[in-house]
Structure 1
Amino acid sequence: MLELTSRADLTLDLVHRVAWRGEPIALTQRAKARIAERRGVFERLLQDPSQGVYGVNQGQGEMIHHALDAAQVARLAQLKPFPAAVSFGDDFPPRVVRAMVLARFANILDGHAAATPRLADALIDMLNADAVPRVAYTGQGGAGEILATYPLFAALSERFDLQPGERGALINGAPCAGALLADVALASRRRLDLVQQVLALAVVAFGAPREHYDPALGALWGGAHHRAAFEALDALLGPAEAPVRSHQAPVSYRIVPALLAQAHWAVSQAEETAITALGAVTHNPTYLEPDAVHPLGRCVSTGGFHNALAAPVIDNVTGVWADLCLLAGRLSAGLLNGRVSGFSDFLLGDRDPSESDGHGALGYLPMAIAGFVEEARALAQRSFIPAVDASVFGQDDVAAPVFLAWPKAAKAGETLDRALAVLSVVASQALHLTARDPQSGPLRNLLGKVRETVPVVTADRILGPELQALSAYFNVSIFGTNLRI
């Protein structure tokens, strides 16, 4: 059983194990005691008439200037998170919704949301029972994240009468940004492993000089990301083949390490930002623990519910996927063009071009990749803060862009999987025609799976369904088999 004690426990590994794999989790006694202790002090703070706490003994939204009496405090506490549950359309995968529930604990574990122990227990039960609702990622044009957190916790709130502050502990802050960053980071690291393997397979198939990928260049170019790219390629390429080209390969083959370094940079940035966001206290208002000046603690109003780093970081990943789609197209075209590769045009081998329409079954694949490239490039547009003010009366006048960024990264990743499927099949055909096999185990395994799904082409046939099956296999390899994704 996994245990949760502090905000430091909210890691990418924990998201993977709890949100993706569905492993059970529990709160430690230390965590429960801290939540209960902080809640007790907060309740004493509320007895001080000079202390106004937004959404608890002060009105919320446009009613913020109203101080509430005891009856009004009780009535406000009883309101269920229903009114903002208005988004609909396409839903997040369940793994993402579970990650949002898990990220909710960042505000709770140290008492910053003044949550009750029973609320913390209810969230744990929600995860362990996999009782997460459908939450739409479309129609998310609101300030903060309430258009997602309202439907996320609406059913849970019906289980008991809410106490003052409990509703805010459920719906406020930025758990969605942390969860979406974590999802992108986890998927991207796994997709990057696939990218490196497929690009290395293409390098071997083309017979590009190994000097282009000498690890010494990684140190000369500088930085951890260049070194990581060169070292990964060197390990995947294995021992250098004897029959390699004596002249440099086209630009597309020589810049493979540079684009991989770009991918390492974007993925590392996503991981670092996700780790920060998962453990960040983002509640509004944030309850600060007692100190010498404030023996009962204090509440401060914040804008922590707006994670301004999440969308740009996710957009960077989307942009890298678009660049890699284009690179896959260039590498494929180089293999298919006899003047560039030195192989037969369209990798027809000794087949008579008149037996097909002149292009053969593989000759049209660059057209498919061209479509994927444009799809990815259209997705790789920056997710700006929405320009529309949908607040009606002005309190909630700026929306969060992270909900716009995540779907584009997810779709661009799937598009890249398709482009990689095309490139791997073209590389497989080139290796077959030249009677060569990769020297490294990982590339031999990859080639075996490619040919199992898309057998070597010896006559024209419909390749679309086979390529779709291969891209689906790539997608499963990223998210894992037998996972509740």
Structure 2
Amino acid sequence: MTLELSEPADVDLEAVRRVARAGEPVRLAPAALAAIGRRRAEFVAFVEAHAGDHLYGITTKHDVAARTVLDDAARAEFGRLLPPTPPSPSTLGPALPERVTRAAVLARLTDILHGTAAIRAETAARLTTLLDGPLPAVPEGGNGDPGDVVALGRLLRPAFQGTLEVGEGMALINGSPMASGVLADAVLSGRDRIARLEQVLALAAVAACLPDMHVDAQLGVLWGDPHQERVLARYRELLAGGTWPRRAYQAPVSFRSAPRVLGGVLRTLAHAQDAATTTLRAASNNPVFVGPDLRPPLGAVLSNGGYHNPLVSPTLGALAHAWADLAQLVTAQLNRLTDPPDGIAAHETEPRTSLFPMTASGWAEQARAAAAPGLVGLGRSGQTDTSTPDVLAWRRATDAGAALDALLGLLAVTATHLVTRRGDTPPPALAGLRDAVLECYPLDTPPLDVAEALDAVLAHLAAR
């Protein structure tokens, strides 16, 4: 299918999923293209009437060169090009996943649909056609500038350099669509992670002989948090039926706390989803063109801070913290399901029983390191005196999530082996997970085959 865009509200998380993850192409609706053409004509009329004014990146160059108004010839020459940007250091790290750069291109279209990026209709259509094929690689390292000009320069320069007209270069390269893209990507990854979190933690609860009182519905009422209440209800669904020994006394803290911690993660993810929806639909240009319908008689060009998206880095930091927090809890559960007298060590011999806790400690520390806080960075002297480390924040959230995913695989195997060794009958909602894990990682898997078996478990969980 092809995603057709008519207005800024069409650029949402579902659109990102379709375009960035499912690979769907994008087209602008005929009415949208017509509106883009009208706004471009209004913009050109405004620029012609204010050719002697300081219009950032339009009648002037950018950064400190904004002090000088260009003459007609220099303005036309500058308008043909994307403004020069610092080189992105391709030797200092891998490229961003293409799903992220596709999300950024989609988010760039929001400004065009707002009419604040007053480019020509043919330029807008060419921007959508970038999504028809592979995008240029954008190195992950070195993207900390205010806005996304380094990344966008690498992404858009091959297709647009030398083909533009006045004002289009700044409209394409300035703003925060990469920030919107990385936040949307992290939210989609987080939403996908929740289902496997619920199932693996519920299976671990069976392995820990969790008593029913720990997920009683009355707890949700007493805690007063709809997210925690939802997790408790999901636990009860997943744990319904089956046969396993319930403890006559309370389970270890990591198992009793798990519904509350996961409920807190759901709250964080809900906030992140709201922030992503807001940023995807917001205009982020600098400058923005406001049409004559709002600023008669000819409109206005407003220089602003739209390139700095204050929701992205803090929200990604909160997600990194949430995943890292869960990683510590999962590690604690794994250790409890390993240790004698009740753990897998009572049923399996070394080195099988020590491999997972040893590995888990490394993943837990990687998650902890990824949860380091991020702040608005110090830039350089002159115009660029602060930075916006949104891509770095995305990397931290991604690393914390990857560490948690690895730990979930370890916990799934340990819990599966323990309930199987004991001869328990898992609840119907968890039987499929137990069977799939056993198929990927059978009992008595030789230690030298652990890596391949665990990779199969992780692939199965990622597909859920």
Shorter-normalised TM range: over 0.9
Instruction: Tell me which of 366, 370, 378 is aligned to 1:379.
Output: 370
Q: Specify the SS of the correspondent of 2:289.
A: strand
Aligned-pair CA distance for 1:24: 2.4
Match of 1:483 in 2: none
Q: Aligned match of 1:198 in 197, 200, 205? A: 200
Query: Structure 1: where are the runs of 5+ without partners?
Result: 350-355, 479-485
**Matched residue type, 2:364:** V
CA shift for structure 1 position 422: 0.8
The answer on 1:369 being equivalent to 2:356 is no
Distance, in Å, in 1 between the alignment partners of 2:450 and 2:176 is: 45
Corresponding residue of 2:444: 457
Deviates more, 1:199-208 or 1:72-81: 72-81
Matches within 5 A, 1:319-338: 319-338=321-340
The equivalent of 1:101 in structure 2 is 105
Q: CA separation in 1, counterparts of 2:385 and 2:295?
A: 34
1:113 paired residue among 113, 117, 140: 117
Aligned to 1:124: 128
In the alignment of these two chains, the number of paired residues is 460
- Hey, what's the Cα distance between the residues in 2 that align with 1:81 and 1:451? 56
Residue in structure 2 matched with residue 481 of structure 1 by the alignment: none
- Cα distance in 2 for partners of 1:26, 1:141 equals 31
Q: 1:348 to 1:292 in 2, by over 3 A?
A: closer
> Which has the larger displacement, 291-300 or 402-411?
291-300
- Displacement of 1:362 in angstroms is 1.8
Task: Name the amino acid aligned to 1:451.
Answer: L
Q: CA deviation at 1:241?
A: 4.2
1:120 maps to amino acid:
A
Show the counterpart of 2:35.
34
For the aligned residues, what is the CA RMSD? Answer: 1.9
Matches within 5 A, 1:50-449: 51-88=53-90, 89-127=93-131, 129-158=132-161, 161-239=163-241, 241=243, 243-291=245-293, 294-339=296-341, 341=342, 346-348=345-347, 356=349, 359-387=350-378, 389-390=379-380, 393-441=381-429, 443-449=430-436
In 2: Cα distance, 1:144 partner to 1:134 partner? 18
Q: How many angstroms does 1:118 deviate by? A: 0.9
Partner Cα distance (2:346, 2:203) in 1: 16
Distance 2:235 2:296 in 1: 57
Match of 2:461 in 1: 474
Letter in 2 for 1:36: G
Q: Which runs of 5+ in 2 are unaligned?
A: none
Deviation at 1:469?
3.1
Q: Match of 1:353?
A: none
Percent of residue pairs identical: 34
- Counterpart CA distance in 2 for 1:360 and 1:46 is 73
CA distance in 1, matches of 2:129, 2:265: 38
Between 1:85-94 and 1:185-194, the stretch displaced more is: 85-94
Distance 1:210 1:9 in 2: 45
* Structure 1 contact 82–154 (Cα < 8 Å) conserved: no
Contact in 2 for aligned 1:85/1:148 (Cα 8 Å): no
Aligned equivalents of 2:332 and 2:36: distance in 1? Answer: 56
Asked if the contact 2:55/2:301 (under 8 Å) is kept, the reply is: yes
Query: Aligned partners of 2:32 and 2:254: how far apart in 1?
Result: 53
Distance 2:89 2:32 in 1: 34
TM-score, structure 2 normalization: 0.94
TM-score by length of 1: 0.90
Q: State the shift of 1:462 in Å.
A: 4.6
1:482 aligned residue: none
**CA–CA separation in structure 1 for the residues paired with 2:294 and 2:333:** 65
